[in-house]
C-alpha cells in the first residue's frame, strides 16, 4: 500500500511540474495568453510543495522522481502532444521506472 501511495504522489508531483512548464511554453512558443503564467506559477509552487511530502531523504526522492517524471512525460507526449511513444520511448521509460523502484523500495540496510 505504501508503494502505491508513493508512486501516486510521484505522479501528482510530475504532473504539477509538467503543467507548470507547459503553460509558459504555450505563451512563449504558441503565442498564447501571458495570463497562463499565473496557473503555471501555482502549479510549480504545488510541485515544490508535493516534493516535501515524500517520506524519505531528499536526494533519494529527487533521484527516484526522475524515473516517474520520464514516464509521465511520455504519457503527456501521447495524450497532450498527440504523438504515440515509440518502442524505444517505452523501453526507456520502463528502465527509468525500474530504477525508481530500486531506489525507493530496495533494502536500506546495505
Tens-of-pLDDT digits for all 110 residues of the chain? Answer: 667 788 889 899 999 999 999 999 999 999 999 999 999 999 999 999 998 898 777 888 888 888 989 999 999 999 999 999 999 999 999 999 999 889 888 888 75
Hey, where are the domains in the chain?
Answer: 2-105
Q: Give the separation between CA 15 and CA 102, rounded to whole angstroms.
A: 22
What the block records as the C-alpha cell of 63 is: 533521484
Kindly state the cell numbers that stand for 1.
500500500
pLDDT at 7: 82
The span from the CA of 1 to the CA of 14, in Å, is 20
The predicted model scores a pTM of 0.85
> Would the CA dihedral through 22, 26, 27, 28 be positive or negative?
positive
Amino acid at each position: 500500500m505504501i508503494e502505491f501511495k508513493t508512486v501516486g504522489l510521484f505522479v501528482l508531483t510530475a504532473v504539477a511540474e509538467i503543467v507548470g512548464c507547459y503553460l509558459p511554453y504555450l505563451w512563449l512558443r504558441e503565442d498564447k495568453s501571458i495570463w497562463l503564467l499565473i496557473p503555471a506559477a501555482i502549479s510549480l509552487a504545488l510541485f515544490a510543495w508535493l516534493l516535501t511530502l515524500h517520506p524519505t531523504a531528499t536526494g533519494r526522492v529527487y533521484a527516484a522522481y526522475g524515473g516517474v517524471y520520464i514516464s509521465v512525460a511520455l504519457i503527456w507526449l501521447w495524450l497532450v502532444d498527440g504523438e504515440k511513444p515509440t518502442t524505444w520511448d517505452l523501453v526507456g521509460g520502463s528502465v527509468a521506472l525500474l530504477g525508481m523502484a530500486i531506489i525507493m523500495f530496495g533494502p536500506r540496510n546495505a
